[in-house]
Structure 1
């Protein structure tokens, strides 16, 4: 029986929690638009339906992943996590450097509200609740698919599926409760910093599990994850600073 140490369990649960916070904040903007225009009934029904589909996906695929040989599972998921994590880290670095704009939940809220209002005007009154619920379902499902993948990736094969799922559900509950009480887009959530952290964690897991899948014996065993995380964090921060300074020098030369 493989012993699960806290050095692996804690980052896995934290990755699921932080990734869920990021995705749920984005989905909540659409949920709030629908709740504002059509009431909370349509918003809640759409959210519950999407969460049900995601739960079925995780529960169905989790046991399948657990049946695969551990080294194959580690290699496949390690490569996918590395690609996934580097994608998050790349966008976080570019946003931190000012190359691409930060997410503006207030602007997204206004745009989504205008689009949904215009669409509703083209529909019959009896279909507006269905349209609003479908908009929430699509938003939660699309954002949740990334979370479901992360839960499966960090949880399957190591007995962490349930803890990772609990971390994700905890994040969903926290964001929805705070958002419902505040009744406004959660624009103050440090989304890019969270994405930076998740990118670092997923990339670290990716390197660690890819190596294990290839039979690499990491010095320090599970503690090597901390070293990888420090390397990715330092590299990401240094890259963001370098790009930001390069852009500043470029603007000075142009002016």
Structure 2
């Protein structure tokens, strides 16, 4: 089955934005570790984790070709829907002011202080720097791998657009990290998470429907309708959550 522009475009955008958020969070830790303990071991740890993640993507992509497509769509769609709704719920609560926004500057300061607690890295090979950057890159990268596989697994040939979106996000963050040498605090992370939550929820719903043999009106173009529906509901939930929170506060 050919992939439409509606599917390809949304796949690239969803993968790019989701990967961008995760890469920004990983970059904050890598910058903190490198600035305190030195860049050599920190960058090697980060690069090693990226290599491992690429191997995982290649291996999973091969395995998925041996599983019936309908099963993949149903299982992956369910997981993607749950994952997207979790992102969207947190983004709504942040937009409503019920939970604090993620602060990259504060995260950078916290990780810098932690690295200083272990001392500064003066040796050629710093195990702490390597372990710290490897761990954070694997942690954030695992979510990227899941999103790429989940978005790309539902259609033959869809894994490439999803992978390109993730790679583009990685290259953008790496370039900005080298140029700025400081956390990307001005990136509207919650806005990205809001959009990604909407996109992933829409993709998850679409794949669940495909796995259950539902005939979507207008085929892949139904993804755009699902995106619009989730976005409208989420935007309505923000003032509703804010007003309910204010009502509870006033009553107490």
Q: Output the TM-score relative to the length of structure 2.
A: 0.95
Q: Give ranges in structure 1 of 5+ residues lacking alignment.
A: none
CA deviation vs aligned residue, 1:77-133 (integer Å, no higher than 9, x gap): 111111110011011111111111100111111111111110237xx9548722112
Which residue does the alignment assign to 1:62? 61
Which residue does the alignment assign to 2:223? 225
Give the superposed CA RMSD.
Answer: 1.6
CA distance in 2: counterparts of 1:195 and 1:125, whole angstroms: 38
Which residue does the alignment assign to 1:236? 234
Are the equivalent residues in 2 in contact too, given 1:30–1:112 (CA < 8 A)?
Answer: yes
The aligned runs of 1:24-173 (5 Å cut-off) are 24-120=23-119, 126=123, 129-158=126-155, 159-173=157-171
| Deviation of the 1:227 alpha carbon | 1.0
CA deviation vs aligned residue, 1:175-203 (integer Å, no higher than 9, x gap): 12112211111111010110111110110
| Deviation of the 1:157 alpha carbon | 4.5
CA deviation vs aligned residue, 1:179-234 (integer Å, no higher than 9, x gap): 22111111110101101111101100111110111010011111111111111111
Between the two proteins, the alignment pairs up a number of residues equal to 251
Are the equivalent residues in 1 in contact too, given 2:85–2:197 (CA < 8 A)?
Answer: yes
CA deviation vs aligned residue, 1:37-82 (integer Å, no higher than 9, x gap): 1232222111110101100100001111122111111111111111
Which residue does the alignment assign to 1:192? 190
CA distance in 1: counterparts of 2:46 and 2:226, whole angstroms: 36
Q: Output the TM-score relative to the length of structure 1.
A: 0.94
Are the equivalent residues in 2 in contact too, given 1:75–1:209 (CA < 8 A)?
Answer: yes
Which among 203, 228, 234 is matched to residue 205 of structure 1?
203
Judged with a 3 Å threshold, the aligned counterparts in structure 2 of structure 1 residues 70 and 9 are, in CA distance, closer, same or farther, namely same
CA distance in 2: counterparts of 1:127 and 1:88, whole angstroms: 40
Are the equivalent residues in 2 in contact too, given 1:73–1:213 (CA < 8 A)?
Answer: yes
